[in-house]
Amino acid sequence: MSTTPNITPFSREGRRRIAHTIQYGALVAVAWLLARLGVDRASALMGRAWRLLAPLNKRHARVDAHLAAAFPDWTAERRREVIGDMWENLGRTAAETILLPELLAEAETRIDWSGLPGGILEPARSGAIFVSLHTGNWEIVSWPMAAIGLPLHAIYKPLRNPAVERWLAEKRRALYGDGLLPIDRSITLKIKTLAKAGATVAILADQKDHSGFELEFFGRRAGATTFPAILARRLDLPLFAGRSIRTNGAHFRIDGRWLEVPKTDDPHADAETLTRAIHAVYEEWISEYPAQWMWAHRKWL
């Protein structure tokens, strides 16, 4: 007897597939329209749309509360200004992600990484952990490593829609030519194997991790992932923190720094120490350009 599930348009699986098909079709249609506009106009249009419409989302109030707690001396008017700029940055980033190949084709004029001194990335040729955060356009923060030919992988949480997932993975291929690694139970073993081969692994590490630990972030209890620090400590790899800064429209500056990986007799304590150091850098960077970070995260406890 066949065990194939009975999938109809009215079953849960059928409705899911229909929704995924509609989502994918809408994405392709939007991508077609944005491509007709070009990177600059598409980025500006999406930025204005998000600035106008995003305040209707329930996350808007969460963003305001987070900013009020992080910067208690700010006026409500100052918060409104920063929140508007934040939504615009996120809208621009969405458009630029859809047009990522077109943006990278003009990387020489759009992405300035002269702030990274010559040779600073060379230690990564023997393997490294690269951490960043959701600021500026975080999709292009790995560009300097890709540009000098470093073998680069990225760890990410895959989307639920497989068609959209494949579509976006193809867009990111120029940045992570060695592959995107979805988070699963075997991820540590995969990274260990890659690191031994001299690969650099990129991770966005500013979100809350329920399996991580608590630290102080902007004066409040926050959740943090120790995963990058654990990898660097366990695999004896250097760790680089990088960021993207939006300078003018769809133009960016990238900089960063190597962080010391502690090595004592207590690997667990070393990972927590390094995670705190990473978040101290994040707090410094976010304070410098508060409108460019994604304040909608449920970062705080």
How far CA 151 is from CA of 91, 146, 258, 272, 285, in Å, comes to 30, 7, 18, 27, 27
pLDDT tens digits, residue range 230-288? 989 988 999 999 999 999 999 999 999 999 999 999 999 999 999 999 999 999 999 99
* Pair type for strands 220-224 and 180-182: unpaired
Confidence of residue 5 (pLDDT cuts 50, 70, 90): low
Q: What is the pLDDT of residue 6?
A: 60
pLDDT digits (tens, 9 = 90+) for 202-213: 999 999 887 778
CA angle 169, 176, 144 (to 5 degrees): 135
What pLDDT score was predicted for residue 9?
63
DSSP string, 137-152: -GGGTTHHHHHTT--E
pLDDT digits (tens, 9 = 90+) for 50-93: 999 999 999 999 999 999 999 999 999 999 999 999 999 999 99
pLDDT band at residue 115, thresholds of 50, 70 and 90? confident
Helix (H, G, I), strand (E, B) or coil at 53: helix
Q: Are 252 and 234 in contact (CB under 8 A)?
A: no
Chain centroid to Cα 184, Å, comes to 18
91: left (phi over 0), alpha (psi -120 to 50) or beta: alpha
